[in-house]
């Protein structure tokens, strides 16, 4: 079972609106999995790391099949010793320090493979070849030796 994770850092203005991105992403994962008999041998579990400020809109994620995991920052900003870096991480990416919610993907140790992706991604075909390479260390090591 492949774990697929997203991070949600805030809610849209209308908190009752289903997220288009997570909906399309979950649809594409479903249609590239074993569940639709398309030749894939991998099943999936969807996860959403949701910041406490965004919990109001997490019901729509649950309705889409995501297991919602409420998560704050994995560190305290005040513990960053460099004031330059404290400021810089708040200006980087779309969400500043909230980008670090993605690190929680490493806590999903019940899965041999976890794919954390942004919500503007869509899978068009099964990823079995890649997953097979990642899971079979002999193939991976031989492949790396050949390149």
Q: What confidence score (pLDDT) does residue 18 get?
A: 52
* pLDDT above 90 as % of the chain: 54
Cα 25 to Cα 120: distance, rounded to the nearest angstrom: 7
Q: What confidence score (pLDDT) does residue 12 get?
A: 76
* Of 109, 118, 6, 116, residue with least CA distance to 51: 6
114 Cβ contact list (under 8 Å, min separation 6): 2, 3, 4, 5, 105, 106, 108
């Amino acid at each position: 079972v492949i774990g697929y994770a997203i991070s949600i850092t805030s809610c849209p203005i209308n908190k009752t609106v289903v997220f288009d991105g997570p909906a399309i992403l979950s649809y594409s994962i479903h249609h590239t999995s074993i569940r639709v008999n398309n030749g894939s041998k991998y099943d999936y579990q969807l996860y959403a790391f949701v910041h406490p400020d965004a919990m109001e809109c997490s019901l729509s994620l649950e309705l889409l099949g995501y297991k919602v995991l409420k998560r704050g920052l994995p560190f305290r900003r005040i513990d960053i010793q460099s004031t330059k870096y404290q400021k810089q991480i708040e200006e980087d990416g779309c969400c500043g320090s909230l980008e670090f919610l993605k690190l929680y993907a490493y806590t999903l140790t019940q899965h041999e493979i976890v794919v954390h992706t942004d919500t503007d991604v869509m899978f068009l075909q099964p990823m079995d070849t890649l997953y097979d390479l990642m899971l079979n260390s002999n193939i991976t090591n031989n492949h790396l030796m050949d390149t």
